[in-house]
Structure 1
Amino acid sequence: MDRTVCELFAGVGGFRCGLNGIESLEDINGEEKWETTWFSQWEPAEKSTQYAHDCYVYHFGTCLDKNGNDTTNMNIEEVDKSTLPDFNLLVGGFPCQDYSVASSLATSKGLEGKKGVLWWSIRDILEEKKPPFVLLENVDRLIKSPAKQRGRDFGVILACFRDEGYIVEWRVINAAEYGYQQRRRRIFIFAYKNDTKYANKIIDKMQSDIDEGVSNVIEKEGFFGTTFSIDKINSKKIKIQELPNEIGELSNHFSFTFENTGIMKDGIIYTVKTESNYQGNQITLGDMLENESVDEKFFIPEERLYYTATDITHSDELKKRLSKEQRQTWQYLKGAKKLPRKSSATGHEYIFSEGAISMIDDYDKPARTMLTSEGSFSRTTHIVKDKMTGRIRLLTPEETERIQGFPTGHTKYCLMNGKKVEMPINKRRFMMGNALVVDLIKDMEKTLNKIFASE
C-alpha cells in the first residue's frame, strides 16, 4: 500500500516530522518515506497572519487539490472534501470541543453537528475519501467529556467510525513514561477499515477467545500494544459496553466511563486501565537546555523574581494585600496563596487558595506539559537555571522545539506572501505549546510501516 498522507490541523508539521523521521533542518530536504498529498492548517484567531501554515509551507511547500487550487489555508469546514487528493492515512491533532449532535436523526447519514466543531469535518472526510487508516491525537480529557455526561463525546466519535466501517484502538500516552523529555498526556486514536488485512488479523485474534483475545490485542498484538509496552492486564477487568445504534440517541443519553486504553469493533467497546512498562533511558529537561550562552532578553530581572526572602513559598493576604509590584513576581505567582475574593455574579465572599509549585524547573526530570501560554507570566511557564551563568531565565524557542521533539530552529522562519519572515518569539512558543511530541509519532511510524508493507 502506498504511504500517502493527509495531515489535518497540521500546525507546523508534527505528524509529518514524525512519520518521516525528521530530526534536523537538513533532514527536511531529504526524500520523504510518507508522501503528504494534502494538508490543512487555518488558525481562526489570527486575522492578518497565519504563522503555523506559513511555517509549514516554508519547510514543506504547499499541496494543491484535484482542481489545482491551494485550499490548505482555508477553514476546513468550507473545503469541498471531494476535491482532496487521494491518500491512505489520515492524521491530525484535532481540537477538543463539544461533540453533541444538533439534530437527532434515525441514522448517522446526514448527521448535523454544531457548526464550528471540527470533528464533523473529519467525519465528512471519512465518508468522502474512505481512508483505510486514521491516526488522531487529542487531549486526554476527551474520553471524560463533557463533565455532565461523561464519555458522550468520545462515544460520538467511536460511533461515527463504526458507521463508516472502522475498528478503533485508543491509548492515553504520557510521553515521559516512554523515556521522552516531556510529561505530556494525550490520547491517540488509531482506526482502520474492516476490510484491511490488518483488521482481519485483529479480528482473528479477538475471536479466538473473547476475553483472552481482547487482552492479547490490547496488551501485545494491537497497534498500541505493539508500539508501547504495558504491564500485563487482567482480562476480568475489561469493561464491555455497546454503543447505541443512533448517534442522536447517543448524544442525548449515552454516558460511560472509558478507561485509558481500549478497542471498539462493530459498536462494542472493550476498555481497561493500563500502566506503562518502559525500562529504557529517560531524557530530561536538562538534556534539552542550551549549553552555550543565551541572549540576555530571556533572563528574568531580580526584581521580577522575588518580592521577599527566596525561601518564602507562600503568601497570606487575608489581613493585608501585597502591593502590585510584589504580586508581579514569579515568587508570588508560583507560590501558595490565600486571599479574599467576591463573586461578581452573586456578591458571595470566599477565600481563594492554591498550593505552591516548584519555582525553578528541575534539570533531572522531564519538562512539565508545555501550554500555548509558555513564556508568558503564568504559573505554567517553565523557568530554569541557565547552565552557563546560573541565572534564572525563560526557555528559548529552540529549547521548546527540542522539548516537543522538533528540529532545533524549526519555527524560526515562515514563508509569508512569498517572502522569508522570522516568526515572533511568542508565536514560536505558542506553536510548541500547541504541538504534539514528535518522538511518539516516530515510534508509531515503525508500526505503521510494517502494517502498510503487509497491505
Structure 2
Amino acid sequence: MKAEKLDIHVRLEPFEVELLKESAKSNNQTIQDFIHESALLNLKNTAVRNKDKYSFIDLFSGIGGMRLGFEDAECQCIYSGEWNKFSRKTYLRNFGEFPHGDITKVDASTIPNHDILVAGFPCQPFSIAGISKKNSLGRASGFEDKTQGTLFYDVCRVIKEKRPKAFLLENVKNLRSHDKGRTFQIIYEALTELDYEVFYQIIDGQMFVPQHRERIFIVGFDKQRYGTVNFDFNLNPPEHTPVLSDILESNVDEKYTLSSKLWDYLQNYAKKHREAGNGFGYGLANPDGISRTLSARYYKDGAEILIAQEGKNPRRLTPRECARLQGFPDSFEIPVSDNQAYRQFGNSVVVPLISDIARLITQKLDRLENDPEQ
C-alpha cells in the first residue's frame, strides 16, 4: 500500500513564529525542515514510554533544571509546561520539545497520566474573601476556595485529576514565612486535603554547588495508594565540597568587566548603606569559598556576585559560569541573550540537589511499590 502524504496547517502565535524562525536559523535549517525534525523527535519522546522508568511531568519548567535532575535519576519526562517565550526557546534547544503554554488554560484531563508531578511554582498571596464568607456561614472551605486565582491552584487541580504517586514542589525559602506563615499553611492544608502525606524541608544548595542558595522543597506521597508514609531528606552530597574557583572560566571577555561608572556607583551605594547601618551592597566573592545567592536580577549589574580582577575593575559572572553555579552541565546550550540567560539561571534550581532528591523519591517509591508497609 502506498504511504499517504499529509499536509498539516498549524495556527501559531506571533512570538511562536519568531521562536521557530530563530531556532531554525541557529540550526542552519529551513523552517519546514526544523518543524519536521522537531515533530519527529517529540513524537519519539512521547510515543516511546519506558515502563522501567518512573514518568514525570515538568510544570513551570523554566529552562528544565528540575527535568535534568529527574532524568539524572533515571526518570522519563512525558509532559512539560512553561509560558515564558525565552525560557521555552532554551527548553526547546536542549530537550527538543516545546513546553505547553499557560497552565491556567490547560484542561488537566488532557495531561498524560504520570508517576511524579514536578513543579517550581511561583509564590503568590492567597485571598481570604471567599474563605471568610464561608466560615461565617459555618461551611467548610476546600482547596479550590483557598487557592483559587493562584498558580498553585493549578498544581492542585492537576494532582486531583491525575493522582500521581508522588510530587516534588520547589519554592523560595521565604514561602515558609510568607504572609506570616499563612501562605504555607494553606499550601500544606491543600495538599493534605488531596490525601497526600506531605514532607518539607529548607535545603541549602551549597552542599552541591559553590553558592549559598536556600530553597524549600515539598514532597508528597499518595495516601490513597500507600497509606501512611515516612520520608526523610537524607541527602548524599559529594565528598568534595566545590568552591567558586571550580566553576570560573579561564578566558573571559572584557564585556563582563564593570565600567568605572558602574563600579563607582556600587561602591558609593554600599558606603551609603554601611553608614546607615544596613548590610546592602555589592559582593566580591571569595574564589576559595562560595557565592551569594544568584538571583533573576543579576542581569541588572551583577552586584551580588562579583569576581575581583588584578589591575582592573571586578567583573560579573558569565552566563556559562552562572549555569555552572547552578550545576548545569557544560553541554547545556544557551541560545538567548546574556540578560535573558541571567534571568533564566537566576530563576532556576541547583540541578545536582534536584537529582539527589529525585533519587530519594524514586527509591521510596520502589520500596512502597514492593512493600506497602515501608
Matched, 1:163 2:193: yes
Instruction: Tell me, in whole angstroms, the C-alpha distance in 1 between the residues paired with 2:151 and 2:57.
Output: 16
Give the helix-richer structure, 1 or 2. 2
Instruction: Tell me, in whole angstroms, the C-alpha distance in 2 between the residues paired with 1:129 and 1:449.
Output: 18
Deviates more, 1:442-451 or 1:166-175: 442-451
8 Å CA contact retained: 1:336, 1:356: no
Q: 1:117 aligns with which of 114, 128, 150?
A: 150
Instruction: Tell me, in whole angstroms, the C-alpha distance in 1 between the residues paired with 2:283 and 2:299.
Output: 14
Matched, 1:154 2:78: no
Shift of 1:200: 4.2
Residue 145 of structure 2 aligns to a residue in which SS?
Answer: coil
- TM-score w.r.t. structure 2 length? 0.76
8 Å CA contact retained: 2:299, 2:339: yes
Q: Residues 428, 411 of structure 1: CA spacing in aligned structure 2 closer, same or farther, 3 A cutoff?
A: farther
Determine the structure 1 residue equivalent to 2:232. Answer: 223
Instruction: Tell me, in whole angstroms, the C-alpha distance in 2 between the residues paired with 1:442 and 1:17.
Output: 8
Q: Which amino acid aligns with 1:441?
A: I
8 Å CA contact retained: 2:60, 2:82: yes
8 Å CA contact retained: 2:267, 2:282: no
Q: Which amino acid aligns with 1:287?
A: D
Instruction: Tell me, in whole angstroms, the C-alpha distance in 1 between the residues paired with 2:269 and 2:332.
Output: 31
- Structure 2 gaps of 5+ residues are 1-51, 370-374
Q: Residue deviations 1:315-366, cap 9 Å, x none?
A: xxxxxxxxxxxxxx22123334379xxxxxxxxxxxx663464642111111
Instruction: Tell me, in whole angstroms, the C-alpha distance in 2 between the residues paired with 1:296 and 1:91.
Output: 39
8 Å CA contact retained: 2:269, 2:281: no
Instruction: Tell me, in whole angstroms, the C-alpha distance in 1 between the residues paired with 2:108 and 2:177.
Output: 30
8 Å CA contact retained: 1:91, 1:135: yes
CA RMSD of aligned residues (A): 2.6
Q: Which amino acid aligns with 2:332?
A: H
8 Å CA contact retained: 1:76, 1:121: yes
Q: Residues 201, 110 of structure 1: CA spacing in aligned structure 2 closer, same or farther, 3 A cutoff?
A: closer
Instruction: Tell me, in whole angstroms, the C-alpha distance in 2 between the residues paired with 1:335 and 1:438.
Output: 36
Matches within 5 A, 1:400-419: 400-408=322-330, 410-413=332-335
Matches within 5 A, 1:5-154: 5-21=56-72, 33-43=74-84, 50-62=85-97, 72-104=99-131, 105=134, 106-109=139-142, 111-113=144-146, 116-146=149-179, 150-154=180-184
Shift of 1:110: 7.4
Matched, 1:398 2:320: yes
Q: Residues 354, 301 of structure 1: CA spacing in aligned structure 2 closer, same or farther, 3 A cutoff?
A: same
Q: Residues 114, 451 of structure 1: CA spacing in aligned structure 2 closer, same or farther, 3 A cutoff?
A: closer
Shift of 1:88: 0.8
Q: 1:373 aligns with which of 281, 297, 301?
A: 297
Determine the structure 1 residue equivalent to 2:307. Answer: 384
Q: Which amino acid aligns with 1:12?
A: I
Shift of 1:2: 4.7
Residue 300 of structure 2 aligns to a residue in which SS?
Answer: coil
8 Å CA contact retained: 1:4, 1:87: yes
- TM-score w.r.t. structure 1 length? 0.63
Shift of 1:410: 2.7
Instruction: Tell me, in whole angstroms, the C-alpha distance in 1 between the residues paired with 2:104 and 2:307.
Output: 41
Q: Residues 288, 333 of structure 1: CA spacing in aligned structure 2 closer, same or farther, 3 A cutoff?
A: farther
Q: Residues 427, 409 of structure 1: CA spacing in aligned structure 2 closer, same or farther, 3 A cutoff?
A: farther
Matches within 5 A, 1:312-351: 329-337=265-273
Shift of 1:53: 1.2
Q: 1:427 aligns with which of 321, 340, 343?
A: 340
Identity %: 27
Determine the structure 1 residue equivalent to 2:364. Answer: 451
8 Å CA contact retained: 1:42, 1:74: yes
Q: 2:210 aligns with which of 171, 181, 188?
A: 181
Give the strand-richer structure, 1 or 2. 1
8 Å CA contact retained: 1:82, 1:128: yes
Q: Residues 303, 108 of structure 1: CA spacing in aligned structure 2 closer, same or farther, 3 A cutoff?
A: closer
Q: Which runs of 4+ in 1 moved over 4 A?
A: 113-116, 356-359
8 Å CA contact retained: 1:398, 1:409: no
